[in-house]
Amino acid sequence: MGRDGLTITMDQDTCDITSMLWNDFELQYSAKNTHVNSGLGTVTSSIKTLDDSTIQITCTITGLEQTYLFRPNENAIYMGTYHTTDLDLAELRFLARLDRTTINNGMSSASEIDGMSAIESTDIYADDDGVTASKFYSAIPFIEDQVHGVTGDTGGVYFIMSDYAYEKSVGGPFFRDINNQCTTANELTFYMFSDHTRTEDYRYGFHGPYALVFTDGTAPSTSDVDFDFFQDLDLTGFTSETERGSVSGSIIDSNDVLGSSGVVVSFSNDDAQYWVSVDSNATMFTSPLMRPAVVTGGSTTTQTLEVTYELESSPIWRIGEWDGASDGFLNAANIHTMHPSDSRLETWVESLTFAPGKDDDNTFPMAMFRAVNYPITLSFTLTADQATEARTLKIGLTLAQSSGRCSVTANGDWTAKVQPSVAVSTRGITRGVTLGNYKHYEYSIPSSALVTGTNTIELSVASGSTDSSEEWLSASVVFDAIELV
C-alpha cells in the first residue's frame, strides 16, 4: 500500500508490519516486526477503501483497536490506538523496528549502545571510557516532542504527533519517555503510556492521531501532514473537534513573580491532559481544543489565572531559582542524556561544604544520592539580629527516589522532624528524568539553634528504604531551590 516510493506489507492475522519498502530499499528489520507493543498476537482485521481513496485497516483484540490509514500520494502511515480497561497492559507504545543497514543513525549518540556493556538493569550501558547511553536518553519533553525520528543513507523515518496525540498520556507537558534505541535494530517508538517515573494513573481511550512518515532524510515539520481527515472518520473512541471546547483567558501577575519567564498553562483531569505555552511578553492564552470531559464541548470558556505566590524578596540566602527545575546546578545540563556515573560529568563530591551567596550555584549538585554525595553542609553567617529570630529553611524537590527526602540538622545539635516523601515508585534520575512529584518543604529552625557568626545546616537523605547495591539507585533527591528566610 502506498505510492511515491513507499510500499507497506502487513500480516493479516496479526496486523504486524512485515515490510517497509522505501524507494526499493527495505527498512523493516528482518528478525522482528513493527507493531503495537511487541505485537498483539492474533487479531480480527478488516480493510476498506474510503471515498477519497484512503485505505483503512482496522485491527481488533479485546480491549484494543489499532487503526492504520494510508492516503493517496503520501509517504506516511496514519494511526490511532484505542485502549480500554478490558486489556491490562504495563505499557502502550507503537514500535517501528528498522534495519540498521538502511537506517543506521539513532536520534543521537545518547541512545546508541554499540560496543557497550550494561551497567544498570539491562537498559543503561557504558563503554570502556565510562561514556553512557540508553534508550531513556532519547526522551524529549512532550511539550517539545511533535516530531522525532532516525535516518540513514536511504532516508529518514519520523513520528509526527497531532495536536491531540498526548491527551490520553500521563505526566503533563514536561514528562518524557523513550523515543529510540539502537541495538541490532534501530527501534523508533511512540510511547503512549508506561510506568517510567509515572506520577499519574493511566488514562484509557483514544491515543492519537499520529503518523509514521518517510522522507529523504530531511526532518519533516508538523505541517507536512494533515490530520484533518480524521474529523470525518468514525473511529472508536475518537473525539471530533466539533465535540470539543476550549478555555481562553489572561494571566495576572501583580507581584511580578514570573518576571521575564515564559510559562506553560496546563489543564488536566482523570480523562485528559493539555497545555499551551505563553511567551514572557504575553498575558493572554487559549487552550487547545479539549475533550468535553475537561471543558464544555462546543464552547469557549473564559478564565483568569492569578499568580498568588509571593516570592521572598530578600532571603538571607538562596541557592538556585524557584523555577521548578534543577537548571543551573552541577551536572543539570547533561543529566537528561547521561547516567550520573558518566565520565563526562563533573564529580559528585562526597561531604560537600557549600557557602550560599559565596559559592557559585553551578557548583551545587542538582541531586543528592545517599550512597554517593552525602551529606551536603551549608555554611553561612548570621548577624546578631538575624540569629535572634527563628528562621525558615525552604527546600524544593522536583523528584525523589526510594522514599527519599531531606533530613535537616542545624549546627550539629538541632534536627528537624523528617517530613513525608512523595517519591515515585520507579527509577528516575538514572533514566534521565528530573521531574516527578514536586514537593515544597519548609523547616522552622528555632533561634536557640542559631548563633551569631558562622552557622551550618547539614542536608542528608532520609529514607526507610534499604539502598540498592547499585549506588546510583540509592535513596536520592533532585533540587529545585533552597533558601533561608
Cell 553512557 locates to 132
Question: How is the chain split into domains, by residue range?
Answer: 6-238, 242-306, 317-484
The verdict on domain 317-484 having CATH code 3.40.50.720 is: no
Name residues whose C-beta falls within 8 Å of residue 104's C-beta, 6 or more positions apart in sequence: 152, 153, 186
Which triple of cell numbers denotes residue 365?
549538585
Residue 4 scores a pLDDT above 80: no
Structural contact between residues 297 and 349, judged by C-beta atoms closer than 8 angstroms: no
* Cα 231 to Cα 176, 243, 262, 344, 376, distances in angstroms: 28, 10, 33, 49, 56
In sign, the C-alpha dihedral spanning 208, 199, 171, 468 is negative
Structural contact between residues 418 and 479, judged by C-beta atoms closer than 8 angstroms: no
Whether 242-306 and 317-484 share one fold: the answer is no
The verdict on domain 242-306 having CATH code 2.60.40.1120 is: yes
SS (H, E, C) the chain: CCCCCEEEEECCCCCCEEEEEECCEECECCCCCEEECCCCCCCEEEEEECCCCCEEEEEEECCEEEEEEECCCCCEEEEEEEECCCCCCCCEEEEEEEECCCCCECCCHHHECCCCEEEECCCEEECCCCCEEEHHHHCCCHHHCCEEEEEECCEEEEEEECCCCCCCCCCCCCCCCCCEEECCEEEEEEEEECCCCCCCCCCCEEEEEEEEEEECCCCCCHHHCCHHHHHHCCCCCCCCHHHCEEEEEEEECCCCCCCCCCEEEEEECCCCEEEEEECCCCCEEECCCECCCCCCCCCEEEEEEECCCCCCCCCCEEEECCCCCCCCCECCCCCCCCCCCCCCCCCCCCCEEECCCCCCHHHCECEEECCCCCCEEEEEEECHHHHCCCEEEEEEEEEEECCCEEEEEECCCEECCCCCCCCECCCCHHHCCCCCCCEEEEEEECHHHCCCEEEEEEEEEECCCCCCCCHHHCCEEEEEEEEEC
Q: Which residues, listed in sequence order, are joined to residue 67 by a DSSP beta bridge?
A: 58, 80
What letter represents residue 99's amino acid? D
**Rounded CA separation 335/347 (Å):** 13
Give the mean pLDDT of the chain. 96
Choose the weakest-confidence range: 3-17, 97-111, 219-233, 371-385.
3-17
pLDDT tens across 187-238, in order?
A: 999 999 999 999 999 999 999 999 999 999 999 999 999 999 999 999 999 9
Listed residue (38, 44, 180) closest to 112, CA to CA: 180
Structural contact between residues 271 and 239, judged by C-beta atoms closer than 8 angstroms: no
Which helix (H) or strand (E) covers residue 415, if one does? strand 414-415
Residue 347 scores a pLDDT above 50: yes
Mean pLDDT confidence for 332-341: 98
Q: How confident is the model at residue 20 (pLDDT cuts 50, 70, 90)?
A: very high
Structural contact between residues 369 and 471, judged by C-beta atoms closer than 8 angstroms: yes
pLDDT of residue 281: 85
Mean pLDDT confidence for 408-420: 98
Q: How confident is the model at residue 3 (pLDDT cuts 50, 70, 90)?
A: very low
Q: How confident is the model at residue 2 (pLDDT cuts 50, 70, 90)?
A: very low
Mean pLDDT confidence for 303-318: 92
What letter represents residue 418's amino acid? V
**Rounded CA separation 125/341 (Å):** 11
pTM (predicted TM-score): 0.93
**Rounded CA separation 351/373 (Å):** 6
Q: What CATH number has the domain spanning 6-238?
A: 2.70.98.10
pLDDT tens across 77-118, in order?
A: 999 999 999 999 999 999 999 999 999 999 999 999 999 999
Residue 283 scores a pLDDT above 80: yes
